[in-house]
Amino acid sequence: MTQEEIRRYLEFYQDLGVKTLFRREATHAAHLEPQPEATVEAPTILEAPALPALEPAGDTLLKILEDIGDCKRCRLHEGRNKLVFGTGNEQAKLVFVGEGPGADEDEQGLPFVGRAGQLLTQMIEGTARKEGIPLVRADVYICNVVKCRPPENRTPQPDEMEICGQFLYRQLQAIRPKAICALGSTAAKALLGTKEGVTRLRGKWQRWRDLPVMVTYHPSYLLRPYNQNAKKEAWEDLKKVLHYVYD
C-alpha cells in the first residue's frame, strides 16, 4: 500500500471520529534479552488482508452499487428488506445525506420516501420556488450514511457507520457535488467526525475534504409539533445552500 493510500485511509477514519489506531508490531527474538532456562520462539507474522480502494480509478455509482452487492458486512443486513443505496441526479451539484432508511424506505428501496421524505421534497422544491431557482427533487442526489434500516429506527452504531461509510465516501467522490447538506447529527458525525450537535453546527459552512457542507435538522425532527423554531432555521439553512450552489 502506498503512502498516499495510507493517508487517505487515515483521513477517512478520522472523519468517522476514530482518534486512535493500534498497530501490532512483531517482536523479533534478536531484540530480546536472553532469559535463563527459557526458549524464545520466533513470532508468527500475519499479513493484513487487502483493503478495498477508497477511490478506485473511474469510480461510478453503478460500480459502487455492484461492489456493495448483497451486503452482509454488518448486523444491519439481518432485518433488511431492501438495501437503500441512493437516488437522484448522478451529476448533481447538491447532495443530501441522511441517517438511514426507515420502514417505507426499507420497503421501497429508495431514500426519503416516507413522511420525512415528503417534507424534504417540499423543503427543496418550496424553497427553490420562493427563491426563483428552477429546481426539483430529481435534480439533487439523496443518500444515507447506512444503507440498511437499523432495528426500530435506532441510531446506527459506530461500527455500522464505519463499514457503510466507505461506500458513502465513494458516492460523494464519484459525484463531486458543489456542496453537501447533512441532515441531522448522524450525518454530521459521519461527514465531519464531530460530537457537536446540530444546533451548534447549523447555519455555518463546514468542510468534508474540499467540499462545503451545511448541517441542518433532519426532516423527521422537524415533523415533531414542538420544533417550530427549528423549521424556520432549517428553511434558512436550505436557502443558503441553494443560493450557494445554484446562483
Domains of the chain: which residue ranges?
Answer: 61-246
What is the structure's pLDDT at 72?
A: 96
Tell me how many degrees the CA angle 212-3-57 measures, rounded to the nearest 5: 60
Question: Could you tell me which CATH number the domain at 61-246 has?
Answer: 3.40.470.10
Residue 9: band (very low, low, confident or very high) from pLDDT cuts 50, 70, 90: low
8 Å CB contact between 49 and 34 = no
With a CB cutoff of 8 Å and minimum separation 6, the contacts of 57 are none
List residues bridging with 96 in a β-sheet.
Answer: 142, 181
Give the mean pLDDT of the chain. 86
Q: How many CA atoms does the CB half-sphere of 222 hold within 13 Å?
A: 23
Q: Is residue 11's pLDDT more than 50?
A: yes
Dist. CA 41–CA 44, nearest whole Å? 9
Distance separating alpha carbons of residues 238 and 131, to the nearest angstrom: 11
Cα separation, 85 vs 171, in Å, equals: 9
pLDDT at 228: 83
77-122 residue pLDDT tens: 999 999 999 999 999 999 999 999 999 999 999 999 999 999 999 9
| Confidence at residue 170, expressed as pLDDT on a 0 to 100 scale | 97
Could you tell me which residue, 171 or 55, shows the higher pLDDT? 171
Q: Determine the pLDDT at residue 227.
A: 82
